[in-house]
Amino acid sequence: MINKIWKKWFSKNDAAGNAQPIVLERGDHCVSRKDISTNALKVLNRLHRANFEAFLVGGGVRDILLGLHPKDFDIATSATPEEIKKLFRNCRLIGRRFRLAHILFGREVIEVATFRANHSAPSDEGKQHASGMLLRDNVYGSLEDDAIRRDFTVNALYYSSDDFTVRDFTGGLADLKKRQLRLIGDPLTRYKEDPVRMLRAVRLATKLGLTIESQTAKPISKHASLMSHVSAARLWDESHKLLLAGHAKDTFAQLMNYQLLPYLLPATDKALKQSTDDQLLTFINAALDSTDQRTRQDKPVTPAFLYAVFLWQPLLDRQQELQQQGMSYNDAMHKAMGQVITEQAQYISIPKRFALVMRDIWSMQSRLENRNHKSFKLLEHPKFRAAYDFLVLRANADEQLNPVASWWTRFQEASGEGQRSMTEALKSKKPFRKRRNNRRRPSAKNRPQNKPT
């Protein structure tokens, strides 16, 4: 479809050159109201009736032009956040750094942003850190200004439900035809403004099957350290988009390729570099592949499982260090869990409810490995299935665990009588231990003496 669009645009604009924005009329593009959320159309139409400019923008337009089905629909408008709130009773204003309006329709949220402009001078509405990072970006402008402030050219495409046109100010249509992802403006400057754009470049290129344009890609590895300026809480939100969107395996590979992993998962990156074989990477890739499959099948996924995978080897390494210092296995494991999660939280903040799930998965591994006649009780644990899946993934990377994983697979499928037989068989295989005599031994004072006769 994009080739058809490009052909029509090129034939109509070749003589005019590239100085003017490209405007595709209704018959020259494939964006249709039937592909757009009904609630998004309601927002657009109400803004138009109130004499404000309003456009569908970003991924919604981009994905429809690529023949995909977008799930999120963002709107850009000339109305200020306060004016938007007056129009919609179901509006909630959020953010300080980027002031946004969220229009709530049950579970669906339509995000509406006011046209933004470049910062001509420091002000309360527009602040910038000495490093170049934007601390506040609420300087408002025109539609043309807003297009230049967008991150990638393919995200600066605007659709109007008023005249049904698609407008391109930055060459996004040409980049879609080339299947490339290109930043608007100087790449290093834009990355300094918001280092998360490096993650978005990786995520969008992987998700859409695009190639990151050479000048856009060049600064990423060299300036990956800019990620250290991003808050851990924000990176927690960004990690969901990276890892829970159905392309986690390919995205993880690109994070390693562009040297971004040390600033997201430093302990994992260190463990991978110290690994003498492919066992750890095989384990991680198997988990990422499994998560991708579940996402595509609309099955529930939790970031806790993936973070338990990422930090498993760092956990084992830390536990071994603590045991060498004289701690028992259980004490070392418990302390290592807390230390590894706390250290990771300095980079990507992990909420407590997910950290608790990670601990459950980890602590159950030794119980799953050391099967006994009471193993059936583990089936009642609320996190058994997650711990079992974790064990299976470990067995895929370490064949020594295959008998244990296979046993648990059969155990779950067996009948009640079959489970009893399997656990009794384990009991009979245990080495005999002399039963401890619990009677107190008499003290020397009360012990009978053998008197000479």
- Burial class from Cβ neighbours inside 10 Å (0-12, 13-18, 19+) for residue 116 reads buried
CA-CA distance, 431 to 172, in Å (whole number)? 71
- C-alpha to C-alpha distances, 104 to 60, 76, 159, 226, nearest whole angstrom: 18, 16, 21, 34
Ramachandran assignment for 171, one of left (phi > 0), alpha (psi -120 to 50 degrees), beta (any other): left
CA-CA distance, 56 to 234, in Å (whole number)? 25
- Burial class from Cβ neighbours inside 10 Å (0-12, 13-18, 19+) for residue 112 reads buried
Looking at 63, 137, 146, 151, which residue is catalytic? 151
At position 205, the amino acid (one-letter code) is A
* Bridge partner list, 114: 77
The question of whether 389 is a catalytic residue gets the answer no
**Quick one: which of 271, 408, 294, 401 has its CA closest to 340?**
271
β-pairing verdict for 157-159 and 108-114: unpaired
C-alpha torsion sign, points 333, 282, 309, 347: positive
Outline where DSSP puts E strands in 21-176: 22-24, 54-57, 74-77, 91-94, 100-105, 108-114, 126-128, 134-137, 157-159, 166-168
The question of whether 360 is a catalytic residue gets the answer no
The question of whether 186 is a catalytic residue gets the answer no
Phi, psi of 256 (to 5 degrees): -70, -45
Ramachandran assignment for 213, one of left (phi > 0), alpha (psi -120 to 50 degrees), beta (any other): beta
CA-CA distance, 187 to 193, in Å (whole number)? 10
- DSSP 3-state of 105: strand
> Do the Cβ atoms of 340 and 398 come closer than 8 Å?
no
**Quick one: which of 248, 273, 251 has its CA closest to 262?**
273
Phi, psi of 126 (to 5 degrees): -135, 105
Q: Which residues are catalytic?
A: 72, 74, 151
